[in-house]
């Protein structure tokens, strides 16, 4: 990363020094849960996007935590709006069109939960991506509707005990596999698609910078956001959980730029998903068979990504 010093010289710094110089545009004391990864994601995102940004945060944890203003105080220091749960990408399309008509270059950013992204907001996002709207759509994936009490969503992992798929005598948690939104968005011919994790900040910052620099199409960033309250683990372990998700290939870090796939972290000897799933109580009821199903899905997905990234040189045409 580069910074410009007082006398106009360009100096190279690491991501920690870089983030340290950036303004924190989220008010202190927003009411997210202890150990919430989404809060860290939002703060870091805005540090990189800067003040020349407008933000849409649909209903979800970050809206509920007061980032769109709670009663008489605003939670962030850039223009922010809470769109409907299902129209974030369409609303931002209209905003961006006016800026484009006026010849203004402003970062138009969505920070949406997985429910607003993969479920009822999916139609409007899919269409905005297909049209190639130049907006930056960021999904913080905490695998469910967490601020309303952990109901399952399309991105909830198989076997998760949630308030709408509770484990019990007959129930074994969510019965379906996680919906793979970043891959679906890559297939929309988006200008840039990437997965990010708060455990890999250098990669995170690089991808966020890249997203900000893209002026010709739709950008989709999918960020894993471990949720201590809903997943039931100790709040101080959020980053550890996020790192384990990468190390087990449960959440591979990759990017897709103009159709070319790159695996950013290659695990030669990935750890078994049981190491991740064992860290939280939402999976504690699971049978070895269900864990095996999750592992199989993780392996299949990683093989697909490896193959796609190896095809890189053949994708030029």
Partner 1 sequence: MGKVIAITGNTAAAKGAALARPKVIAAYPITPQSSVVEHLAQLAADGELDTKMVQVESEHSAMSVVQGAVMAGGRAFTATSAQGLALMYEPYFRMSTLRLPMVMAIAGREMTSPETIWGGQQDTISVRDAGWIQIYVENNQEILDMVLQGYRLAENKDILIPVNICYDGFYLSHLIEGVNVPGQEEVDGFLPEYKQTHVIFDPEMPMAVDPMTPGELLMEYRKSHLEAMQRALNVLEDVDREFAAKFGRSYGGAVEEYKCGDADIILVTMGSMSGTAKEAIDIKRNEGIRVGLMKVRMMRPFPRKKIAEVLEGKRAYAVVDRNVCFGWNSGALYMEVKAAESDLESRVTSFPVIGGLGGADISLDHFLSVIDELDSCEKGGKSHECVWLMK
Q: Does residue 297 bind partner 1 (CB under 8 A)?
A: no
| In the complex, minimum distance from the CB of residue 3 to partner 1, in angstroms, rounded to a whole number | 22
| Span interacting with partner 1, options 7-15, 77-85, 211-219, 265-273, rule CB under 8 A | 77-85
Q: Which of 75, 115, 173, 228 binds partner 1 (CB under 8 A)?
A: 75
Rule CB under 8 A: is residue 296 a binding residue for partner 1?
no
Question: For partner 1, which is the closer residue by CB, 96 or 301?
Answer: 96
123 lies in the site for partner 1, by CB under 8 A? yes
Regarding 292 and contact with partner 1 (CB under 8 A), the answer is: no
Nearer to partner 1, 24 or 234 (CB): 24
Which stretch in 71-79, 143-151, 178-186, 307-315 sits in contact with partner 1 by CB under 8 A?
Answer: 71-79
Three-state SS letters, the chain: CEEECCCCCEEECCHHHHHHHCCCCECCCCCCCCCCHHHHHHHHHHHHHCCCEEEECCCCHHHHHHHCCECCECCECCCEECCCCCCHHHHHHHHHHHHHHCCCCCEEEEEEEHHHHHCCCHHHHHHHHHHCCCCEEEEEECCCECCCCCECCCCCCCCCCCCCCCECCCCECCCCCCCCHHHHHHCCCCCEEEEECCCCHHHHHHHHHHHHHCCCCCEEEEEECCCHHHHCCCHHHHHHHHHHHHHCCCCCCEEEECCEEEECCCCCCCCCHHHHHCCCHHHCCCCHHHHHHHHHHHHHHHHHHHHHHHHHHHHCC
Q: Is residue 68 a contact residue for partner 1 (CB under 8 A)?
A: yes
CB of 258 vs partner 1, minimal distance in Å:
23
The correct pick among 1, 13, 22, 90 for binding partner 1 (CB under 8 A) is 90
CB of 222 to partner 1, least distance (A): 21
Binding site for partner 1 (CB under 8 A): 51-54, 68-71, 74-84, 86-87, 90-102, 106, 123-124, 126-127, 130-131
């Amino acid at each position: 990363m580069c910074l410009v010093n007082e006398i106009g010289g360009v100096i190279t710094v690491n991501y920690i020094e870089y983030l340290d110089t950036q303004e924190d545009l989220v008010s202190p004391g927003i009411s997210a849960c202890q150990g919430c990864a989404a809060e860290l994601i939002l703060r870091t995102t805005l540090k990189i996007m800067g003040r020349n940004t407008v933000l849409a945060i649909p209903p979800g944890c970050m809206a509920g935590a007061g980032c769109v203003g709670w009663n008489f105080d605003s939670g962030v220091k850039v223009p922010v709006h809470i769109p409907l749960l299902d129209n974030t990408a369409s609303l931002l399309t209209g905003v961006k069109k006016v800026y484009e008509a006026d010849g203004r270059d402003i970062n138009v950013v969505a920070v949406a939960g997985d429910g607003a992204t993969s479920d009822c907001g999916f139609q409007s996002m899919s269409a905005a991506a297909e049209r190639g709207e130049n907006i930056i759509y960021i999904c913080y994936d905490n695998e469910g509707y967490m601020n309303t009490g952990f109901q399952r969503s399309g991105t909830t992992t198989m076997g998760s005990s949630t308030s709408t798929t509770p484990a019990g005598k007959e129930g074994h948690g969510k019965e379906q596999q996680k919906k793979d939104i970043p891959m679906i968005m890559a297939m929309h011919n988006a200008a840039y698609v990437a997965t990010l994790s708060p455990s890999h900040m250098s990669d995170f910052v690089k991808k966020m910078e890249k997203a900000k620099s893209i002026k010709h199409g739709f950008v989709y960033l999918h960020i894993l956001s471990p949720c201590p309250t809903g997943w039931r683990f100790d709040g101080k372990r959020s980053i550890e959980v996020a790192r384990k998700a990468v190390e087990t290939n449960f959440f591979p870090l990759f990017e897709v730029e103009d159709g070319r796939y790159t695996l950013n972290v290659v695990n030669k000897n990935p750890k078994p998903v049981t190491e991740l799933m064992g860290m939280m109580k939402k999976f504690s009821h699971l049978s070895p068979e269900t864990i095996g199903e999750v592992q199989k899905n993780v392996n299949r997905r990683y093989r697909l990504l490896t193959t796609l990234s190896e095809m890189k040189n053949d994708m030029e045409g």
